[in-house]
Amino acid sequence: MSHFDKHVFFCTNQREDGSDCCGNHGAQKARDYVKNKVKELGISARGNSIRINSAGCLDRCDEGPVLVIYPEGVWYTFIDESDLDEIIAEHLQHGRIVERLKI
């Protein structure tokens, strides 16, 4: 049995050479937004364990910014907070994959 019901990893990688990466597309801000939102919704508390984490390079920069949700192994890209809100509401709260944001 997994320790978390859902584990969300945001690529927050910042490349030293300045080449395109998730960090250039506000990935850390997006991760912080989702972490705060799931906390506000009470779905990150123990027992409803949804964990939001930063990750280094997930090697999908050309599709970024990206996040991946386990245990499903579903990869998403996003543009803004409304996309993130949709992922929270549909996938994290109701278990439905957001096909339009899936990569």
Mean pLDDT of all residues belonging to the chain: 89
Those residues whose C-beta lies under 8 Å from the C-beta of residue 95, and which sit 6 or more positions away, are none
Q: How many domains does the chain have?
A: 1
75 is a domain residue: yes
**Structural domain harbouring 44:** 6-101
pLDDT for 94: 94
**CATH code of the domain covering residue 50:** 3.40.30.10
CA atoms within a 13 Å half-sphere pointing along the CA-CB vector of 101? 26
How do residues 53-71 score in pLDDT, each as one tens digit?
Answer: 999 888 887 787 999 999 9
Q: Are 22 and 65 in contact (CB under 8 A)?
A: yes
How do residues 73-89 score in pLDDT, each as one tens digit?
Answer: 999 999 999 999 999 99
pTM above 0.85, yes or no: yes
1 is a domain residue: no
